C-alpha cells in the first residue's frame, strides 16, 4: 500500500477494503471490534478501477464501496477469488452494482436505507424553494451590488401554497418530501408509482379529514394513472426513483413540453433520469420554468450550458449531506459487512434505528439480495 492508503487496526484477521475515508469514527471501531483490518483509500480523487482490482489482491473479505465504484462482474469475480463475501455500498442507491452477477457469485450486496430519508427530503425541499423563490439569483443580485431598493416586480417567483405537487416514486424519500410539502403548504398531491402505497394513501386521507375538521379546505390527492397525466396537472414535480433502464431519460424533451410553462422540476434521485441536454434547451426556451438539481447525467460533468442557466438551481450531489446522516450511513455499511462475515440473519424491518445505538441487533441491516442468497430472516 502506498501513502494514499491508511491502515486501521492492522492486527485484524479479516481484511476489508474501503474505497473512501468516511465521516465519523464509530464505523471504524465496530470493524476493529469484529477483528477487521481496514485498508482505507484516502486520495483526493476517486479510486481508479484498476487500483481497486489491485487492492483486492489475493485475500479480501469484503469491500465498503461508494456509488461511483463500478461493482461489475469482473470485480465481483476478483473479489470471490480473494475469498470475499460482501460488497457494501455507502449509498441507498445501487445502480453502480451488477446485482444479478453478485448473486451468481454468491456475494452479498448491502446498502444504507433509512438514515438518509429525511435528510434527502429536506434537500429536495430546499431546492424546491430555492427554485420557486429564485434564491440563488437573489443572492447574486445582492453580492453584485445591484440592489438599490424595493421594487414591485423584482425577482418574482412562484407561490406553492395550495398548488398541486406531483411525486414520481412514492418510496421513503418521496413520501417524506411529500409530507413536508403537503403538511407545510397544504399542497394537493398526485403520485405515480408502479406499486400502490397504501400507508401513504391512508395518511393523505386522514390529513384531508383533519383539515376538514378544522374548518379548512381539505387537500385533494390521487394516485396518477400515468406519468404524463401527473406532468400535465402538477405545478411542482419531484423525482424519487431508482436509476433503471426504464427510468433513464424518463423526463425527456416530449415530457418536459407536457409540463406547465411555469412548473418546477426537482431531482434528488439520479441524474440520468432526466435528459439533461433536453432540460437545458427547455429552460432556455421557457424562462418561467424552473428546476432544482442535486444529481447529473454525466456526473460530475454538467451538460453544456447548464451552468449558465439562471432558472436552474444546482447543488453538488449533497442530498444525504448532513454529518449525522453520513456517519450513520458509514455505520450501517460497516454492519452489513460485519453481519455477513459473522453469518447473521437479514434484518426485515424498515426501521434502522436499532443499529444506531449501543448493542445493535445480531442481524445484517440491509442486504439487497438476501432472499436470493438464502440468508435467513432475523426472528428477534
CATH of the domain at 191: 3.40.50.720
Same domain, yes or no, for 142 and 291?
Answer: yes
Q: Is 378 domain-assigned? A: no
Structural domain contains residue 372: no
Question: Three cell numbers at 216?
Answer: 379548512
Question: Which residue has 471501531 as its cell numbers?
Answer: 29
Catalytically annotated residue among 134, 172, 255, 270: 270
Q: Looking at the structure, do residues 190 and 299 belong to the same domain, yes or no?
A: yes
Can 179 be counted among the known catalytic residues?
no
* pLDDT score at 39: 98
Q: Using DSSP, how many helices (H) and how many strands (E) does the chain show?
A: 12, 13
69 and 185 belong to one structural domain? no
Residues 105 and 141 in one domain: no
299 and 326, same structural domain? Answer: no
Same domain, 86 and 143: no
For residues 249 and 262, membership in a common domain is answered with yes
Which residue out of 118, 122, 233, 299 is catalytically annotated?
299
Is the same domain home to 195 and 290?
yes
| 289 and 329 share one domain | no
DSSP class of 23: S
Is 379 among the domain residues? no
103: in domain? yes
Please identify which of the residues 172, 240, 282, 317 carries the catalytic annotation. 317
pLDDT at res. 1: 53
Number of domains in the chain: 2
pLDDT for the residue numbered 3:
76
Question: Which of 292, 314, 336 finishes a domain?
Answer: 314
Question: Which pLDDT value is given to residue 2?
Answer: 63
Which among 253, 315, 213, 268 has a CA at the least distance from the CA of 93?
268
Identify the pLDDT of residue 210.
98
31's CB contacts (< 8 A; 6+ apart) are: 8, 9, 12, 16, 38, 334, 337, 338
Question: Residue 14 is part of which domain span?
Answer: 5-115+321-355
- One domain for residues 159 and 98: no
pLDDT-flagged residues of the chain (< 50): none
If asked whether residues 301 and 334 sit together in one domain, one would say: no
Q: Is residue 220 flagged as an active site residue?
A: no
**Do 37 and 150 fall into the same domain?**
no
Domain boundary (295, 314, 333) is at 314
Active site residue 317: yes
361: in domain = no
Amino acid at each position: 500500500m502506498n501513502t494514499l492508503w491508511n491502515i486501521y487496526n492492522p492486527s485484524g484477521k479479516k481484511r476489508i477494503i474501503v474505497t473512501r475515508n468516511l465521516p465519523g469514527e464509530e464505523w471504524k471501531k465496530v470493524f476493529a471490534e469484529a477483528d477487521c483490518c481496514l485498508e482505507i483509500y484516502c486520495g483526493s480523487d476517486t479510486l481508479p478501477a484498476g487500483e481497486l482490482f489491485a487492492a483486492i489482491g489475493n485475500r479480501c473479505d469484503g469491500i465498503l464501496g461508494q456509488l461511483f465504484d463500478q461493482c461489475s462482474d469482473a470485480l465481483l469475480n476478483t473479489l470471490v477469488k480473494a475469498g470475499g463475501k460482501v460488497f457494501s455500498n455507502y449509498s441507498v442507491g445501487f445502480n453502480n452494482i451488477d446485482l444479478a452477477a453478485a448473486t451468481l457469485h454468491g456475494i452479498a450486496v448491502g446498502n444504507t436505507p433509512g438514515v438518509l430519508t429525511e435528510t434527502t427530503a429536506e434537500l429536495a425541499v430546499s431546492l424546491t424553494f430555492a427554485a420557486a423563490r429564485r434564491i440563488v439569483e437573489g443572492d447574486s443580485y445582492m453580492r453584485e451590488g445591484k440592489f438599490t431598493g424595493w421594487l414591485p416586480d423584482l425577482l418574482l417567483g412562484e407561490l406553492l401554497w395550495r398548488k398541486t405537487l406531483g411525486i414520481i416514486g412514492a418510496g421513503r424519500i418521496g413520501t417524506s418530501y411529500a409530507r413536508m410539502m403537503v403538511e407545510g403548504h397544504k399542497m394537493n398531491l398526485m403520485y405515480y408509482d408502479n406499486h400502490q402505497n397504501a400507508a401513504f394513501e391512508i395518511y393523505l386521507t386522514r390529513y384531508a379529514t383533519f383539515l376538514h375538521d378544522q374548518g379548512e379546505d381539505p387537500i385533494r390527492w390521487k394516485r396518477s394513472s400515468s406519468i404524463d397525466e401527473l406532468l400535465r396537472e402538477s405545478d411542482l414535480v419531484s423525482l424519487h426513483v431508482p436509476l433503471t433502464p426504464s427510468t433513464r431519460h424518463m423526463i425527456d424533451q416530449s415530457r418536459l413540453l407536457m409540463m406547465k410553462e411555469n412548473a418546477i422540476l426537482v431531482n434528488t434521485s439520479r441524474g440520468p433520469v432526466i435528459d439533461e441536454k433536453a432540460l437545458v434547451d427547455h429552460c432556455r426556451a421557457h424562462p418561467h420554468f424552473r428546476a432544482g438539481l442535486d444529481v447529473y447525467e454525466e456526473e460530475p460533468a454538467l451538460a453544456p450550458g447548464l451552468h449558465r442557466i439562471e432558472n436552474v438551481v444546482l447543488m453538488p450531489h449533497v442530498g444525504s449531506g448532513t454529518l449525522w446522516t453520513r456517519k450513520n450511513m458509514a455505520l450501517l455499511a460497516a454492519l452489513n459487512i460485519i453481519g455477513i462475515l459473522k453469518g447473521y440473519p437479514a434484518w426485515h424491518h424498515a426501521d434502522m434505528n436499532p443499529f444506531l445505538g449501543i448493542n445493535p441487533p445480531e442481524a445484517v441491516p440491509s442486504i439487497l439480495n438476501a432472499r436470493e442468497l438464502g440468508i435467513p430472516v432475523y426472528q428477534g
